[in-house]
Amino acid sequence: MWIRDGRELFQDAFRRGYALPAFNVASLEMIQACLRAAEALRAPVILQTYREEVRRVAPEAFAAMVRALAERVRVPVLLHLDHGGSLEEVFRALRAGYGSAMWDARGMGIGKVAEGVARVAPLVHGMGAALEVAAEGFSGEERSRPEEVAALFQAGADVAAVAVGSRHGEESRLDLPLLARIREAARGPFALHGGSGILPEDLEAAVRLGVVKVNVGTALYRSLRALLGRPWEHHRLFYKAVEEELMKVAEVYIRRTQAEGKA
């Protein structure tokens, strides 16, 4: 089921107390594996492309492929642009059919970011889509300030990506007291990046504190790299194995985000 406007899914997750696993995908096999897992567990799901992927393969191509496959399943499927490096990239993806996009505004002051969000959010909403915004790093060293997260929502962001200790590609513990303070200052909904390494118990607590989107990329690519090192008699056997293995990984994170059965 193709979802054009990401706001529908984010608000549903926020109201019902679960998070959407947002899988970074770069190929047909990765897309199909995640959709098979979502269908098997009756879970709404986000498929997202990193900005380097849409520079390599046009967003129009990803949108057409994901939409064609999403219309064949019975669970909600949202296509999201991850880490859009410029507003030009954000709007190209939305014009192509993406239902949500992240504007990665790291390095800019919160005042400029909030001004940009206030200017851009009405345009995004007018296109029937959602805007995720981040002005913080995700290294585990830079942490979000509650008042700045609140400013993003006041300016019109639909989802704020918060930096509370998760690390891309590494096992990490979340600063849950900080997330609780952010929740007090800004009701949410929030996104977490670096979701592959967040401990399950921390992730469960984060969902209770308003997290509705959890990015998962490293876990998929680790499994893919392990398969690449094996000898294959035929390329179709490789593609089949990729789908089977990545489906298992996707199912783990669907359960961890409590999205199972929410479709």
Residue-wise DSSP of the chain: -EES-HHHHHHHHHHHT--EEEEE--SHHHHHHHHHHHHHHT--EEEEEEHHHHHHS-HHHHHHHHHHHHTTSSS-EEEEEEEE-SHHHHHHHHHHT-SEEEEE-TTS-HHHHHHHHHHHHHHHHHTT-EEEEE-S--SSSS---HHHHHHHHHHT-SEEE--SS--TTS-B---HHHHHHHHHH----EEES-GGGB-HHHHHHHHHTTEEEEEE-HHHHHHHHHHHTS--S-HHHHHHHHHHHHHHHHHHHHHHTT-TT--
Question: Which residue type sits at 122?
Answer: P
Which residue in the list 82, 104, 158, 175 is annotated as catalytic?
82
Q: Is 82 marked active-site?
A: yes
Residues identified as active-site: 82
